[in-house]
Amino acid sequence: MSQVRIAPSMLAADFANLQRDIEMVNNSAADWFHLDVMDGVFVPNISFGMPVIKSMAEHATKTLDVHLMIVDPDRYIDTFAQLGADILTVHLEACTHLHRTVQSIKQAGMKAGVALNPHTPVSALEGIIHELDLVCLMSVNPGFGGQSFIESTYDKVVALRQITDSKKVNTIIEIDGGVTSDNATALVEAGADVLVAGSFVFRSENPTETIASLSKQVNP
């Protein structure tokens, strides 16, 4: 497995050819599948839910990294575990009792992630970082693929890396939104471990080749 992981976001896949696109990722240099679940309440968009994830899990042969952009995610933690999620990421902004939610995710047998909106400072995680397997820094406002990367993300990656180093934890740092070959190297230099890429992969002429070259770029 590559040191810096690439996680294609299936939100940008062709849903009429979902099996084809899943096989493409299976047979590519990608490391994870990134699955975006949106409820139309926490974010102004609705993506896909349980039946689609169930079908995806039947074909996907790599880690399922599920990003919940939903209010009150505690209601569905066990369901996502049963569906086959390996990593379950909730938004800090959607959780009143984040510590309890994180414990529930781990008790259900999954790795626990917390995502931060662009406006949320990484210092909000100082009290819980030792409990987290992954932090997802949103580099766009969640809700849609294909948006432009927010430049202030670099400083957040550096600040989060300082926190994980000082607390001596191995929490994975994932970047989600507007990732391309133009910002990938700088993100990894700042401290990113996983790059989510939706449009950059699926809107390219040769997605398999795009994944391979992005992976090679960040794992020289």
Q: Is 34 in the site for ligand DX5 (CB under 6 A)?
A: yes
Q: What is the DSSP string of 129-168?
A: GGG-SEEEEESS-TT-SSPPPPTTHHHHHHHHHHHHHHTT
Q: Which does 12 bind (CB under 5 to 8 A by kind): Zn ion, ligand DX5, none?
A: ligand DX5
Active-site residue flag, 176: yes
Q: Is 207 in the site for ligand DX5 (CB under 6 A)?
A: no
Least gap, CB of 24 to ligand DX5 (angstroms): 16
- Of the candidate spans 36-44, 51-59, 167-175, 184-192, the one that interacts with Zn ion by CB under 5 A turns out to be 36-44
For ligand DX5, the binding residue among 111, 146, 159, 161 (CB under 6 A) is 146
Active-site residue flag, 36: yes
Alpha-carbon dihedral sign for residues 65, 179, 154, 120: negative
The one catalytic residue among 65, 86, 133, 176: 176
Q: Is 65 in the site for ligand DX5 (CB under 6 A)?
A: no
C-beta of 49 vs 146, nearer to ligand DX5: 146
The one catalytic residue among 21, 31, 36, 86: 36
Q: Provide the binding-site residues for Zn ion, judged by CB under 5 A.
A: 36, 67, 176
Q: Provide the binding-site residues for ligand DX5, judged by CB under 6 A.
A: 9, 11-12, 34, 36, 67, 140, 142-147, 176-179, 196-200
